[in-house]
Amino acid sequence: MPSLETPERILIVGAHPDDPDAFCGGSVAAWTDGGAEVWYLIVTSGDKGVPDAETDLTTFTETREQEQLSSAEYLGAQGVTFLRYLDGEVFDSLELRERITLEIRRFKPDLMITHDPLTRNYRQHPDHRAVGFAALHSAFPTSHLPTFFPQHAQDGYESHVTRQVLLFGSDKPDTFIDVGATFERKIEALEMHVSQEAAFHGALRERMGQRAETAGEQSGQYDLAEAFLFVDLG
Ligand SMILES: [Zn+2]
């Protein structure tokens, strides 16, 4: 395994409400139990994840944001920033990099976690790819170099080096976090996303359990784990 330094400040950049909880909620609980500070940055508010086309989208996205705020708090995160891009319409644009860069310079993480944009072996939402690329490009080089978005420094947000990145949803994971003690809390956090019950097909525990067991086997040391690909930006 690559040597992941114990993180103290963790920024998680996800495409939709519930992505951080589904991909790394057990790790978030383990890290916050250990005293780390965690912040979520959610790029869309999941407005396409609706049961039917008649649903009032304003109310629905408010519901999804509330669900994410509750579950993040339940896992010990400090807070959530919503960028409110439209679901399914995200691109790795300079504008999105500027928004993510501002959060990096504001929160100053030593570890950033986001989607693996290059995963190939299973279906991947286009927003996951776009957000993964935009977050990586924001961690390096844009948040590093003060010449990118110099207005941030004028507003008090200096450039920042995020030394470590973990990518979730990877087809080549090499870093595993033990979630044996926190798996139950992860499931409870995911169950707080009541609007997504239909999407989980009532098999949330089974699906997440299988995923955690597979990652545990891959780790060679844990019963239940979450899997990541490590990127060293130090
Ligand atoms: Zn998603």
Query: Which CATH number covers residue 138?
Result: 3.40.50.10320
**Rounded distance from Cα 128 to ligand 1 centre (Å):** 6
Number of domains in the chain: 1
pTM attached to this predicted model: 0.96
**Rounded distance from Cα 47 to ligand 1 centre (Å):** 11
Provide the pLDDT for residue 57. 84
Could you tell me how far CA 17 lies from the centroid of its own chain?
9
Provide the pLDDT for residue 16. 97
**Rounded distance from Cα 3 to ligand 1 centre (Å):** 28
What average pLDDT score do residues 8-30 get? 97
Provide the pLDDT for residue 201. 62
Q: Would 3 be classed as within a structural domain?
A: no
Could you tell me how far CA 14 lies from the centroid of its own chain?
4
**Rounded distance from Cα 123 to ligand 1 centre (Å):** 11
Residue 4 pLDDT exceeds 70: yes
* Position 74, amino acid: Y
Of the candidates 137, 112, 120, 118, the residue with the CA atom closest to the CA atom of residue 20: 112
Q: Would 4 be classed as within a structural domain?
A: no
Distance between CA 212 and CA 217 in Å, rounded? 9
Residue 124, domain extent: 9-232
Confidence of residue 52 (pLDDT cuts 50, 70, 90): confident
Q: Would 218 be classed as within a structural domain?
A: yes
**Rounded distance from Cα 158 to ligand 1 centre (Å):** 30
What average pLDDT score do residues 58-70 get? 94
3-state secondary structure of 219: helix
**Rounded distance from Cα 234 to ligand 1 centre (Å):** 28
What average pLDDT score do residues 143-151 get? 97
Distance between CA 187 and CA 195 in Å, rounded? 15
Q: Would 45 be classed as within a structural domain?
A: yes
